[in-house]
Amino acid sequence: MEWSLDRQMPQKMPQSQKRVDTAQAGTEDFGDLLDLLRAHHEAKLHLCEELEAIADSLPDRVSPQACLMAARRVVATVYDAHDFEDSVLWPVLRRNRPEDVRLEASLSRLHHEHLEDESYAEELASVLTDWAMCVGSRAEATGYMLRGFFGAVRRHIAFEREHLVPILEQIKRASDKS
Ligand SMILES: [Fe+2]
């Protein structure tokens, strides 16, 4: 295997702050691809939990430290996951299911959602940095923005679990038999 889930991760970094490193991913080890997709999902779900806690604490109980941590992680977590899917996972799925029209429709939908989430994540990082610096404003709008983001991310993950994971599992089973 050429890559792993925690290559180059600092030893003392808490689980929720780990980044999934897929920089050298490129083989067709379907078990590893499934593990990586699940690891990215877990990383994003951890992020969603943290963002939800921030949204629930606005404005009076908000923790500047929590906002700073989230601001630092939100863009990287989203981009890491999208990079893995766009550059590694989807090409593998397309190669193994070249005639699958429904798969192509799913990937097209997911691609658009990735673009939206990336743009949203960058905006959120900026807003969370303001709250970390104690200059945040418009708590209601910030809460609305946070809930819109983590709601969309959770729906995106649910869609991938329902539509992509079973396909990858089928491809893996067929590969294991051959
Ligand atoms: Fe995705």
DSSP string, 83-131: HHIIIIIHHHHHHH-TT-HHHHHHHHHHHHHHHHHHHHHHHHHHHHHHH
Closest CA to 128 of 171, 76, 65: 65
pLDDT-based confidence at residue 35 (cuts at 50, 70, 90): very high
Question: Could you tell me the distance, in angstroms and rounded to a whole number, from the CA of residue 167 to the centre of ligand 1?
Answer: 15
Question: Could you tell me the distance, in angstroms and rounded to a whole number, from the CA of residue 108 to the centre of ligand 1?
Answer: 11
Question: Could you tell me the distance, in angstroms and rounded to a whole number, from the CA of residue 28 to the centre of ligand 1?
Answer: 19
Over residues 3-17, the pLDDT tens digits come to 333 433 333 333 444
Question: Could you tell me the distance, in angstroms and rounded to a whole number, from the CA of residue 85 to the centre of ligand 1?
Answer: 6
Look at 10-19, 28-37, 107-116 and tell me which has the smallest mean pLDDT.
10-19
CB atoms within 10 A of CB 30: 19
Question: Could you tell me the distance, in angstroms and rounded to a whole number, from the CA of residue 158 to the centre of ligand 1?
Answer: 10
Question: Could you tell me the distance, in angstroms and rounded to a whole number, from the CA of residue 18 to the centre of ligand 1?
Answer: 18
Over residues 48-65, the pLDDT tens digits come to 999 999 999 999 999 999
Residue 110 is predicted with a pLDDT of 98
Question: Could you tell me the distance, in angstroms and rounded to a whole number, from the CA of residue 107 to the centre of ligand 1?
Answer: 9
How much is the pTM? 0.85
Domains defined for the chain, CATH in brackets: 28-177 (1.20.120.520)
The average pLDDT across 112-123 equals 97
